[in-house]
């Protein structure tokens, strides 16, 4: 029996290298050996962007096209849209009946995001309850593992607590899913902050070669290297720590680090070595993406929605029986 894996992403449109290293590469490995469900979390997008939902449909298609371009294969994994499987809403509602509010209030991202997203009112029921929706998303497929970044790990813990409470109150139905942390560290944006569309510092998987070259050439480095003759330290260079370390060979890294410390290479020359590897990784993704049309994303989602619904219907029949509702 293959282990069931569930993971989702909000429909953010074009995917960048942060998405690729943080999630998609992990998903690609998992689809080879496990029974995977990967979904577009469009209801989750509404928990913070409820007032501006205009881009969700287009972003869903663009994101799924990028998923297909990197190699997610609908023949080997189920790609579906959360809002197309209404059972998620029902399970969310039923879990809400026994999930204590303090469990949600202690969620570290709840306070953090409310403070960060000051431009909107997040004192909503939907935003407080989104980890319960996540638990429904995961437990619907009785997942054994959930690939997530470190910041999402507390949500998987909450999912386990909800599963435990359900099993203890009604009957043993849900496994407690393991947190599968992504092995690759965060890829930083070109300004040295976390790579994010909203920071305008992202390098996208399908953007033209010239744009990738231009963005990475300008990426921030150790500020001590103002002139080519100024020595620097790779430990203080966001480009080195994030990109070079992930892309360059050990020999190249040694050459770059030594050249940086002794000021025998310039930052541009140093980055060119890394950029060559990034371009080589992106080339086949760009090529595949160029052959795909929105119809390919729609077909993948239709097939995935249908198979997700079959599993969801089965789970909900058992949940309803256990909770004594029709
Ligand atoms: S030489 Fe390389 S490692 Fe050193 S600061 Fe420049 S880009 Fe970074």
Question: Cβ contacts of residue 30 below 8 Å, gap of 6+?
Answer: 5, 36, 77, 145, 147, 180
Residues 269 and 260: their CA atoms lie apart, in Å, by 10
Angle, in degrees to the nearest 10, between helices 294-323 and 56-70: 100
Q: Measured in angstroms, how far is the CA atom of residue 149 from the centroid of ligand 1?
A: 27
> What is the bridge-based pairing of β-strands 77-81 and 35-40?
parallel
Q: Average of pLDDT values for 271-287?
A: 98
Ligand 1 atom closest to Cα of residue 224: 5
Q: Measured in angstroms, how far is the CA atom of residue 262 from the centroid of ligand 1?
A: 11
Q: Measured in angstroms, how far is the CA atom of residue 244 from the centroid of ligand 1?
A: 9
Q: Which residue has the tokens 């209404």?
A: 86
- The DSSP symbol for 82 reads G
pLDDT score for 300: 98
- More confident call, 326 vs 162: 162
Say what percent of the chain tops pLDDT 90: 84
pLDDT score for 183: 67
* pTM of the shown model: 0.94
pLDDT score for 153: 86
- Ligand 1 touching residue 267 (CB < 6 A): yes
pLDDT score for 1: 83
- Ligand 1 touching residue 271 (CB < 6 A): yes
- Ligand 1 touching residue 239 (CB < 6 A): yes
Under a CB-based contact definition with an 8 Å cutoff, are residues 156 and 179 in contact? yes
Q: Average of pLDDT values for 70-86?
A: 98
pLDDT single digits (tens) 5-56? 999 999 999 999 999 998 999 999 999 999 999 999 999 999 888 888 889 9
- Ligand 1 touching residue 238 (CB < 6 A): no
- Ligand 1 touching residue 216 (CB < 6 A): no
CA 280 to chain centre: 22
Query: Which residue's CA is the closest to the ligand 1 atom numbered 3?
Result: 234
Phi first, then psi: give them for residue 239, nearest 5 degrees.
-65, -45
Residues 63 and 45: their CA atoms lie apart, in Å, by 13
pLDDT single digits (tens) 142-192? 999 999 877 788 889 999 999 999 999 999 999 999 999 866 667 899 999
Say what percent of the chain tops pLDDT 70: 99
pLDDT score for 184: 63
Q: Measured in angstroms, how far is the CA atom of residue 278 from the centroid of ligand 1?
A: 16
Question: Cβ contacts of residue 160 below 8 Å, gap of 6+?
Answer: 176, 177
pLDDT score for 21: 92
Under a CB-based contact definition with an 8 Å cutoff, are residues 64 and 40 in contact? yes
Angle, in degrees to the nearest 10, between helices 87-96 and 130-139: 120
Under a CB-based contact definition with an 8 Å cutoff, are residues 261 and 270 in contact? no
- Ligand 1 touching residue 160 (CB < 6 A): no
pLDDT over threshold 90, residue 113: no
Query: Which residue's CA is the closest to the ligand 1 atom numbered 6?
Result: 267
Residues 135 and 90: their CA atoms lie apart, in Å, by 12
pLDDT score for 185: 65
- Ligand 1 touching residue 67 (CB < 6 A): no
Q: Which of 54, 53, 61, 96 is nearest to 81 (CA)?
A: 61
Phi-psi region of 324 (alpha: psi -120 to 50; beta: other; left: phi over 0): left
Ligand 1 atom closest to Cα of residue 270: 2
pLDDT, the chain, mean: 94
Is 4 in a helix, a strand, or coil? strand
pLDDT over threshold 90, residue 119: no
Q: Measured in angstroms, how far is the CA atom of residue 122 from the centroid of ligand 1?
A: 41
Query: Which residue's CA is the closest to the ligand 1 atom numbered 4?
Result: 260
pLDDT single digits (tens) 251-277? 999 999 999 999 999 999 999 999 999
- Ligand 1 touching residue 62 (CB < 6 A): no
Query: Which residue's CA is the closest to the ligand 1 atom numbered 7?
Result: 267
pLDDT score for 224: 95
Which residues of 28-177 form beta strands (DSSP E)? 35-40, 77-81, 145-148
Angle, in degrees to the nearest 10, between helices 267-291 and 250-262: 140
pLDDT score for 200: 93
């Amino acid at each position: 029996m293959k282990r069931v894996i569930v993971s989702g992403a909000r429909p953010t449109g074009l995917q960048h290298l942060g998405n690729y290293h943080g999630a998609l590469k992990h998903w690609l490995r998992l689809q080879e050996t496990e029974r995977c469900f990967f979904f577009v979390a469009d209801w989750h997008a509404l928990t913070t962007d409820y007032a501006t939902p205009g881009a969700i449909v287009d972003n869903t298609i663009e994101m799924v096209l990028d998923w297909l371009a990197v190699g997610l294969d609908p023949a080997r994994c189920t790609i579906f849209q959360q809002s197309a499987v209404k059972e998620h809403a029902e399970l969310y509602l039923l879990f809400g009946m026994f999930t204590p509010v303090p469990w949600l209030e202690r969620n570290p991202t709840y306070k953090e995001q409310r403070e960060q997203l000051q431009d909107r009112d997040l004192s909503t029921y939907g935003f407080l309850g989104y980890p319960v929706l996540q638990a429904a998303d995961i437990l619907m497929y009785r997942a054994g593992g959930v690939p997530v970044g470190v910041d999402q790990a507390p949500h998987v813990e909450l999912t386990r607590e909800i599963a435990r409470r359900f099993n203890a109150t009604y009957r043993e139905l849900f496994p407690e899913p393991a947190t599968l942390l992504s092995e690759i560290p965060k890829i930083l944006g070109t300004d040295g902050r976390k790579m994010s569309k909203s920071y305008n510092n992202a390098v996208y998987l399908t953007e033209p070669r010239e744009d990738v070259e231009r963005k990475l050439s300008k990426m921030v480095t150790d500020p001590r290297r103002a002139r080519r003759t100024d020595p620097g330290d790779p430990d203080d260079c966001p480009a080195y720590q994030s990109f070079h370390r992930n892309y360059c060979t050990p020999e190249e890294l040694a050459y770059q680090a030594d050249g940086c410390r002794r000021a025998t290479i310039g930052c541009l020359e140093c980055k060119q070595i890394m950029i060559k590897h990034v371009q080589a990784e992106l080339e086949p993704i760009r090529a595949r993406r160029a052959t795909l049309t929105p119809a390919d994303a729609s077909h993948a989602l239709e097939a995935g929605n249908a198979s997700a619904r079959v599993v969801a219907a089965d789970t909900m029949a058992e949940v309803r029986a256990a909770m004594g509702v029709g």
